[in-house]
Chain A
């Protein structure tokens, strides 16, 4: 034993056990508990989710293979029809048009939300304290508005009769927007919905990214700046790598939410005006499945949506799952 080394417990133990058994450490009680620890940590989550979602998920899956309307609901007995629901949905032109429209819609929404949200988060770093508190409080106010109210306000602001948007645009002489109908064309309708959704989604992205920025050690930023890096280089080399997991999460969550969004398009375009020409997937599954009490078909569409969303976000999800952690 070299004299410079102070023997501690582990080293002595290592010396005492023969070399061959060192390869597989003995299963002491401590080690067993250590091994069981992660399972213990995730167990409560699994129990809660399993107790509540177990049956509904099973039901969702089985319903998609049955004819299950109001008649069957009352009798609690569906009729097995195999893949008929799926094939009827997949042969429906409306389904494919809606899917196409929703994919484009999702890309636009997610893009705008992430870019604008991150820019505002970076802005938050650079302003004075009082502006920062003001702006974050404002964002939380925006975030905490119930959707129903936000839709109503948005509609008031953009309605053709006396909306303030038309009023302001006309006053600023951008053009004659007197009683311009912002809900005339499908593109216009969806543009309004996009604005509403992006506006509502920015606070979450901004606050989460800002929280992430708080984890970036000041020293690294200062070190990079002393080396002469401009703000863009600092962002790319120091900030972004640390924020990467957060960006991945936010993007994947945004994709999931924007793909299946229901309340905003349904309420803003209004239940009386949504139809096949402006369906988004969330609205489509609600109307075709549940408003028309065709639960079997609704379940089939839900499962298809699940597959689509998974496909759209697999890139980000895979990165997140495989993310090398510190150990």
Chain B
């Protein structure tokens, strides 16, 4: 049944289809090249940023004689795990790991929960004293902490929390960390909550849910990336904090990893650099694991499909 016109039109469509497919292939290739270019840039940035970390790990694997060689070497020709072994066998290593995990774990859970509640109040409700509270939060962040160390020690001593008893000592550190991290968490989570587009919230209101219920049910998934970022910050800050942990924890069996680490360099004799680098690498690992587990929650496009009619 094919007529001449139909044939030519079919041919035309076929040609048109082929042209469109070619254009699609070209666009696809351009996109792939662009992506590859960005990947290259990303890898370059990775290389520059991570170089000091690489240096730390590479030093941890070098035998003592090569650590401070006159011409620096990238990799050791004869790497060794001795420093890691020595670090782990140093007194109180496992105690320090346990203490750090407890302190940071409790701190982050309590801080995020309390801060989220307060941030919801600040971002979504109007009440007298709201501005004052916000300003107070940022005011605390502005305090130079060095000036507060001794009075804080005195006040915690009054609460009988500066003893060698691990429960009390760790509690002292936990509430100290919470005190300094809550303002930050509240401040940051409030920012994330304020950034949520209006449409998404109003969509939730339509079906007649109550305010707080809607907030918690709708906001929580939306602000998840913010919660993750904030909790990573809390974890890292608490994990690496030194000044307060050092003053508040007297008994070596209560020390956190950071304080334990300071004993590598605090002597008046030579420093065991290999050991320090190995110990630092070990100290960093739990945090990285924590982040890797959570990083999927910061996926781009999480809200895709949230506003759909």
Contacts and interface: CB of A to CB of B under 8 A. Distances in A.
Asked if the two chains touch in their complex, CB atoms less than 8 Å apart, one says yes
Interface of A: 35, 37-39, 41-42, 44-46, 48-49, 51-57, 59-60, 63, 73, 120, 123-128, 131-150, 152-154, 156-157, 161-164, 167, 199, 202-204, 207-208, 210-219, 242-246, 248-249, 252-253, 256, 260, 262, 282, 285-286, 289-290, 295, 298-299, 302, 305-306, 309-310, 313, 317, 320-321, 323, 325-327
Contacts of A203: 49
Contacts of A156: 55, 59
A321 B123 CA distance: 10
B262 A326 contact: no
A51 B239 CA distance: 23
User: What 7 A-B pairs come out closest when comparing CB atoms?
Assistant: A56-B151, A211-B225, A41-B121, A302-B147, A59-B151, A38-B121, A144-B287
Contacts of B261: 146, 148-149
A246 B69 contact: no
A210 B296 CA distance: 12
- Interface size of B as a range: 35 or more
A17 B241 CA distance: 59
Contact of A215 (B126, B195, B277): B195
Contact of A138 (B46, B115, B192, B201): B46
A134 to B, nearest CB: 6
A207 B295 CA distance: 10
B69 A162 contact: yes
Contacts of B292: 133, 137, 140
A35 B130 CA distance: 13
Given A38-B125, A285-B146, A142 B49 contact: yes
Contacts of B154: 55, 59
B49 A243 contact: no
A133 B183 CA distance: 30
Contact of A144 (B141, B142, B186, B288): B288
A237 B171 CA distance: 47
Nearest to A162: B70
A38 B117 CA distance: 9
Nearest to B35: A128
Contacts of B273: 152
A120 B47 CA distance: 13
B77 interface: no
7 contacts: A136-B295, A143-B232, A157-B52, A211-B228, A218-B303, A282-B146, A298-B147
Chain A interface mostly = helix
B22 to A, nearest CB: 22
B120 to A, nearest CB: 6
A148 B188 contact: no
B147 A299 contact: yes
Contacts of A56: 148, 151-152, 155
Nearest to B235: A144
Contact of B280 (A132, A142, A149): A149
Nearest to A141: B53
Contacts of B140: 49, 53
A290 B146 CA distance: 8
A248 B262 CA distance: 35
A212 B225 contact: yes
B138 A252 contact: yes
Interface stretch (B9-17, B82-90, B91-99, B174-182): B174-182
Given A38-B125, A144-B236, A217 B304 contact: yes
A289 B195 contact: no
B276 A42 contact: no
Contacts of A149: 56, 261, 276-277, 280
A235 to B, nearest CB: 15
Nearest to A300: B147
Given A137-B288, A142-B53, A327-B124, A212 B195 contact: yes
Contacts of B288: 137, 140-141, 144
B134 interface: yes
Contacts of B222: 215
B43 interface: yes
B268 interface: no
A42 B121 contact: yes
B280 A219 contact: no
Contacts of B38: 123, 126-127, 131
Contact of B179 (A53, A133, A211, A313): A53
Contacts of A167: 71-72
Contacts of A44: 114, 117-118
Interface in B121-136: 121-127, 130-131, 133-135
A143 B193 CA distance: 24
Given A144-B236, A218-B303, 17 more contacts: A35-B127, A48-B179, A54-B155, A59-B154, A132-B42, A134-B46, A139-B49, A145-B280, A149-B280, A152-B276, A153-B55, A208-B233, A217-B200, A244-B195, A260-B142, A260-B144, A327-B125
A216 B304 CA distance: 9
Contacts of B212: 37
Interface string B37-48: 011011101100
B191 interface: yes
B258 A146 contact: yes
Interface in B213-240: 222-223, 225-226, 228-229, 232-233, 236, 239-240
Contacts of B152: 52-53, 56
A295 B175 contact: no
B114 A302 contact: no
A31 B225 CA distance: 33
B194 interface: yes
Contacts of A282: 144, 146
A136 to B, nearest CB: 6
A317 B138 contact: yes
